[in-house]
Amino acid sequence: MEITYTWYGHATHGLKVGEHKLLIDPFFTNNPSAPIKAEETEADFILISHGHGDHLGDTIGIAKRTGALCITNFEIANWLAEKGLEAHGQQIGGGFHHPFGYLKLTQALHGSVLPDGTYGGNPAGFLLTTPNKKKIYFAGDTGLFGDMSLIGDEGIDLALLPIGDNYTMGPDDALKAVKLLRAKTVVPVHYNTWELIAQDALAWKERVEAETTTKVYVLKPGESLTL
């Protein structure tokens, strides 16, 4: 089974798991680093980590056009369902067998209010175990937390970690996160979208690869990795 990960800039991700097409936090419109438009995307499933506009993004438009199932926390799932979308709610610590694998919501230290002010529940990350047992961890927007070592115990193949600072972990804490997670590969995300979260990802890659056995791939928006 082929698994292809694509970074669309910021914290917008694409994932193909065999024939299943996933978008995670599909922020294309008003995302200065997005290489394509929301109208050009395809999705069977949309995962939303929390309610902020740079993560909820174009969910409603893409889901209406594609009929994708939206998977997110219970509160955001209800909010999307009220807008007529297909939604599946989970909560932190809870996993479910979806067609593309077993998806568990993980904790994230952040906020989650929705764009209209509605309470958006707790922010989350995602831990996906694909049908061929690859483990992919989307940290979401989060600060560093020690229980990343428990997530690391799962044996992570690919971790997507924010390094932008200000709203999430910065480079120093993200390096600590890599040490806790012990992932085979890491892709840094949630940086350089705006000046406020500008970071030197290549310098971070050098530090991580000098201090750990994790391989860091610094992608350009639109570039992919095959697992």
Binding site for Ni ion (CB under 5 A): 52, 141
- Residue 2 C-beta: closest distance to Mn ion, Å: 29
Q: Are 139 and 161 in contact (CB under 8 A)?
A: yes
- Residue 190 C-beta: closest distance to Ni ion, Å: 8
Cβ proximity to Mn ion: between 101 and 125 the closer is 125
Position 54 contacts Mn ion (CB under 5 A): yes
* Residue span binding Mn ion (CB under 5 A) among the ranges 54-62, 111-119, 122-130, 196-204: 54-62
User: Smallest Cα–Cα separation from 194: which of 168, 155, 156?
Assistant: 168
Q: Which of 44, 58, 141, 165 binds Mn ion (CB under 5 A)?
A: 141
* Residue span binding Mn ion (CB under 5 A) among the ranges 39-47, 133-141, 142-150, 194-202: 133-141
Per CB under 5 A, which of residues 153..212 are in contact with Mn ion?
none
Site string for Mn ion, 95-124 (x = CB under 5 A): ------------------------------
What 8-state DSSP symbol labels residue 92? Answer: B
- Residue 7 C-beta: closest distance to Mn ion, Å: 14
* Residue span binding Mn ion (CB under 5 A) among the ranges 28-36, 39-47, 139-147, 178-186: 139-147
Instruction: Count Cα neighbours of 27 within 13 Å in the Cβ-side half-sphere.
Output: 23
Q: Are 100 and 14 in contact (CB under 8 A)?
A: no
Residue nearest to Ni ion (CB): 52
What is the Cα–Cα distance from 195 to 197, expressed in whole angstroms? 5
DSSP 122-147: --EEEEEE-TT--EEEE--S----TT
The option from Ni ion, Mn ion, none interacting with 25 (CB < 5 to 8 A, set by class) reads none
Cβ proximity to Ni ion: between 14 and 164 the closer is 164
Contacts of 19 by beta carbon, 8 Å cutoff, 6+ apart? none
Distance spanning both ends of the chain, measured CA to CA: 9
Buried b (16+ CB within 10 A) or exposed e, 58-93: bbbebbeebebbbbbbbbbbebbeeeebebbbbeee
Q: Which residues bind Mn ion (CB under 5 A)?
A: 54, 141
